[in-house]
Amino acid sequence: MAREYFCAYHSYLAAMEPLNDAERGRLFTALLIYSQTGDAPHLDGNERFVFPVMREQIDRESKKYAAKCERNRENVMKRYSNEYERNQSYSNATNTKTKKKTKTRTKTKEKENIEGVPGGTPADKPPKTCAFVPPSVEEVRAYCLERGNGIDSQYFVDYYDSNGWMVGKTKMKDWKATVRRWEANERKNGSGSERKEEKPIGDDNAPYDPYAHVGLIV
C-alpha cells in the first residue's frame, strides 16, 4: 500500500537555501510525484542537485513503511488464526458435549417403561432421597421468624454443626422438622418457667437445653 505523503524535514531548509522560489516549487513538485509514483521527473535547474538527497530519504521511509505494513499483516493473520483455532476448539467441545447429552437422553429413553414404571425404575424400588444440606444461620433465622418461635438461630446451627448434624445417632434429614421439635418442646415446658436442664426431643447426645435460648433475638 503506497503512502499518501512524504516527510519534509527542517534540515531541508539549508539544502534549499541556494534555490530560488521557482526551483523550490519544481523540487517539491518532483518530490510529490516521486513519492506517489516512484518515477523521478526530469529536472534542469539547480533543484536537480538537491532532489537526489531528498529522494533517498523518501526511499528509506518507504521501505520502513512497507516493513511495518508487513508486520501488521502478519500480526493480524496470527491473531485471527489463533481466534479461529480457539473457536474451533470451543465448537468441537460443544459438539462433543451435545453428542454426550444426546447419547444420555437416548439411553434414558431406552430404559423407560421397564417393569411398567417410566424411566426404568422397578415398581418395588424405593425412590431416591435427596442428600441433607445443612442450613445457614440466615435460613434458620428466616424460618424461625416465619413461625415466631423465638429460637436462637445461631445457637441452633452451632449446636448441630458441632455434632455433625446428628439427631441422636441418626443423621439429620429435615432441619425444619428439628426446629419444630425444639418449638414443641418449648411449649411443653412452658416459656419462662423454671425447669431442669434438658435436651431437644430425639437428641440423645445433647448436653444443653436449647430452649434456654428461646426469646433471644433471632
pLDDT tens per residue, range 134-186: 999 999 999 999 999 889 999 999 999 999 999 989 999 999 999 999 999 98
**Where does the pLDDT of residue 79 fall: very low under 50, low under 70, confident under 90, or very high at 90 and above?**
confident
Residue 196 included in any domain = yes
Same domain, 41 and 100: yes
C-alpha cell at 64: 520502513
Question: Is residue 99 packed enough to be buried (19+ CB in 10 Å), middle (13-18) or exposed (0-12)?
Answer: exposed
How close are the terminal C-alpha atoms of the chain, in Å?
75
Positive or negative CA dihedral for 171, 202, 204, 165?
Answer: positive
Same domain, 162 and 75: no
**Where does the pLDDT of residue 6 fall: very low under 50, low under 70, confident under 90, or very high at 90 and above?**
confident
Q: Is the distance from CB of 180 to CB of 200 less than 8 angstroms?
A: no
∠ at Cα 72 (70, 77), nearest 5°? 95
Over residues 99-122, mean pLDDT: 62
Residue 91 included in any domain = yes
Secondary structure class of 165 (helix, strand, coil): coil
pLDDT of 117 reads 53
Residue 122 included in any domain = no
Same domain, 109 and 34: yes
Residue 124 included in any domain = no
Same domain, 30 and 63: yes
pLDDT of 191 reads 55
Same domain, 79 and 144: no
Q: b/e for 149-183, b at 16 or more Cβ within 10 A?
A: bbbbbebbbebbeeeebebeeeebeebeebbbbbb
Same domain, 111 and 165: no
Same domain, 17 and 108: yes
Look at the block and give the residue holding cell 460443544. Answer: 94
pTM (two decimals): 0.33
Same domain, 106 and 149: no
- Least confident interval from 7-11, 39-43, 104-108, 196-200: 196-200
**Of 80, 115, 150, which residue constitutes the final position of a domain?**
115
C-alpha cell at 151: 429460637
C-alpha cell at 108: 434414558
Same domain, 6 and 100: yes
**Where does the pLDDT of residue 198 fall: very low under 50, low under 70, confident under 90, or very high at 90 and above?**
very low
Q: Is the distance from CB of 34 to CB of 23 less than 8 angstroms?
A: no
Same domain, 76 and 40: yes
pLDDT of 209 reads 54
pLDDT of 135 reads 94
The domain of 60 spans: 1-115
Report d(CA 44, CA 59) in Å as an integer: 22
pLDDT of 9 reads 86
Report d(CA 67, CA 63) in Å as an integer: 6
Instruction: Please indicate whether residue 105 or residue 19 has the higher confidence score (pLDDT).
Output: 19
Other CB atoms within a 10 A radius of the CB of residue 50 amount to 22
pLDDT of 164 reads 93
Q: Identify the CA nearest to 31 among candidates 1, 7, 61.
A: 7
**Where does the pLDDT of residue 97 fall: very low under 50, low under 70, confident under 90, or very high at 90 and above?**
confident
Report d(CA 89, CA 91) in Å as an integer: 5
Instruction: Please indicate whether residue 45 or residue 112 has the higher confidence score (pLDDT).
Output: 45
In this predicted structure, the answer to whether residue 14 has a pLDDT above a threshold of 70 is: yes
Report d(CA 181, CA 158) in Å as an integer: 17
Q: How many domains are contained in the chain?
A: 2
Residue 108 included in any domain = yes
